[in-house]
């Protein structure tokens, strides 16, 4: 009587694996895809342990998985709240706009970074009184710093070069904030009131790290390209957890 049930549970995996194969061909191996497959595997194991009456394994894995799901829901809820809690206040009292880097392809901004730049351009054309910090160093596969690429893009789209402050040393979000804070101080903007422009999924952690270095942040979210949205939101959960567990200055991204 047990074997047909077990075969049925194994059969449940076939469409999941086929779907994963199609997703792999379409998008490659992504963080989000691996996360979904891991969850399917855990649920499958719970079914198997329940079916075989392995109560000890079922309770141990089931309990740990329940704690994970509650934690995941709580953290993602906070990320989503910050992401969609309004686009930001353009009339606020700010020292500067701060655009965070997001990767290049050679010298060209990625789609994610273009989304941030397009959003920032709209802000800067409304708030012509504000300088803008472009923050991002040079990473693997990048021919120039992200800051330089962002500056070029802004100038090409009508933003005066004299308004742009370049932060070209950072390699992660914490360093974006720390080094930008130092540049603001050098400019005499000691209050550190910044309007951070980054993608929606990234706002919660960005504002948290900004406060850690003494900035007074507000956020203005740029939309995330839909093809990568789920992947980024899932990955951001682990980035938030890693930030809490290992410290603010240890996390890339």
What's the pTM? 0.82
Q: What is the pLDDT along the chain (253 residues), one digit of tens a residue?
A: 444 444 445 555 556 555 555 555 455 567 777 888 888 888 877 877 776 777 777 788 889 999 999 999 999 999 999 998 766 788 889 999 999 999 899 999 999 999 999 999 999 999 999 999 999 999 888 999 999 999 999 999 999 999 999 999 999 999 999 999 999 999 998 899 999 999 999 999 999 999 999 999 999 999 987 778 888 999 999 999 988 887 655 444 4
Q: In sequence order, what E strands does the chain have? A: 96-100, 104-105, 108-109, 132-135, 164-167, 193-199, 216-222
State the pLDDT at residue 25.
47
Distance separating alpha carbons of residues 101 and 104, to the nearest angstrom: 9
In whole angstroms, give the CA distance from residue 116 to residue 109.
Answer: 10
Task: Give the DSSP letter string of 148-172.
Answer: HHHHHHHHHTT--GGGEEEE----S
Greatest CA separation found in the chain?
Answer: 77
- Show the tokens assigned to 173: 């979000």
Q: Fill in the DSSP letter of residue 95.
A: S
Confirm if 136 and 145 have CB atoms less than 8 A apart.
yes
Residue 166 vs residues 9, 136, 141: alpha-carbon distances, Å: 56, 8, 20
Could you tell me the two tokens for 29? 């191996």
Cα 127 to its chain centre, rounded Å, is 26
Token pair 């308004």 is at which residue?
Answer: 163
CA distance 185 to 199: 25
């Amino acid at each position: 009587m047990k074997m047909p049930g077990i075969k049925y549970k194994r059969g449940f995996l076939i469409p999941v694996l086929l779907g994963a194969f199609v997703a792999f061909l379409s998008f490659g191996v992504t963080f989000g895809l691996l996360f979904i497959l891991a969850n399917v595997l855990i649920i499958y194991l719970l079914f198997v342990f329940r079916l075989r009456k392995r109560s000890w394994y079922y309770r141990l894995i089931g309990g740990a998985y329940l704690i994970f799901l509650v934690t995941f829901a709580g953290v993602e809820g906070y990320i989503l709240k910050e992401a969609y809690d309004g686009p930001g206040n353009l009339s606020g009292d700010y020292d500067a706009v701060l655009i965070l880097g997001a990767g290049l392809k050679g010298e060209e901004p990625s789609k994610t970074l273009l989304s941030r730049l397009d959003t920032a351009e709209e802000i800067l054309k409304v708030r012509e009184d504000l300088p803008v910090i472009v923050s991002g160093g040079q990473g693997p596969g990048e021919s120039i710093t992200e800051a330089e690429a962002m500056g070029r893009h802004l100038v090409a789209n009508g933003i005066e070069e004299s308004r742009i402050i370049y932060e070209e040393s950072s390699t992660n979000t914490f360093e974006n904030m720390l080094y930008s804070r130092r540049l603001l101080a050098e400019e005499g903007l000691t209050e550190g009131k910044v309007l951070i422009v980054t993608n929606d999924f990234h706002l919660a952690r960005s504002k948290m790290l900004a406060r850690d270095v003494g900035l007074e942040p507000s956020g203005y979210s740029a939309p995330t390209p839909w093809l990568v949205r789920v992947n980024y939101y899932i990955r951001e959960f682990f980035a938030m957890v890693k930030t809490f567990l290992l410290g603010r200055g240890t996390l890339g991204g």
